[in-house]
Amino acid sequence: MKHEMQYRSGDVLKGAVAGLIGGLVAAFVMSEFQSVWNKLSGQEKQSGGEKQEPATVKAAEMIVENATDHDLTDDEKKYAGPLMHYAMGSTSGAIYGAVSEVMPIARTGAGLPFGAAVWLVADDIVVPALGLSKPVTEYPISKNVYALVSHFVYGLTTEAVRGTVRNIL
């Protein structure tokens, strides 16, 4: 293999920290990628019909309302959605980083399988099961492709940053 690890595998804490940082950066890169995709595809200009609240906002509402009995204001929702996105991205990255220490095969594919797994488990199974979105079958294929490609970007970025940070640690 051309790209050999410079660090010794097996330190789960260092792996988790590297993965957390990778996932945080990747969540940002994924958001930026989605903004560019939406601009290029004209999605930003399409505002016809009822705009559905993002699953990240719905998840934040569910957590806050159950924990505090407080309804989020529209202003709070502007921050809660992105906060949930970054929390999910960094947590998934931390788990990936920890697992990659004890199962190096998890790093196979430059993060693409990881990104696909997050897409499948989170977007297609957990989010609909919690009632935060419609079932995946109710969205057009273009929306599913967009979500999968976005998660490929997330996975690739997580692995690139995780590997770099882990070599430093």
96, 106 in Cβ contact below 8 A? yes
pLDDT of residue 50: 53
- Full pLDDT tens readout for the chain, 169 residues: 444 445 556 799 999 999 999 999 999 999 999 999 989 987 754 444 456 788 888 888 888 888 888 888 888 888 988 898 999 999 999 999 999 999 999 999 999 999 999 999 999 999 999 888 899 899 999 899 999 999 999 999 999 999 999 999 9
Return d(Cα 155, Cα 106) in angstroms, integer: 11
Angle at 28 between CA 24 and CA 29, to 5 degrees: 115
Instruction: Please report, for the chain, the start and end positions of each structural domain, with discontinuous segments joined by +.
Output: 12-41+62-168
pLDDT of residue 135: 92
CA contacts within 13 A on the Cβ side of 108: 5
115, 154 in Cβ contact below 8 A? yes
Task: Output the pTM of the full model.
Answer: 0.84
Which amino acid, one-letter code, is at 109? G
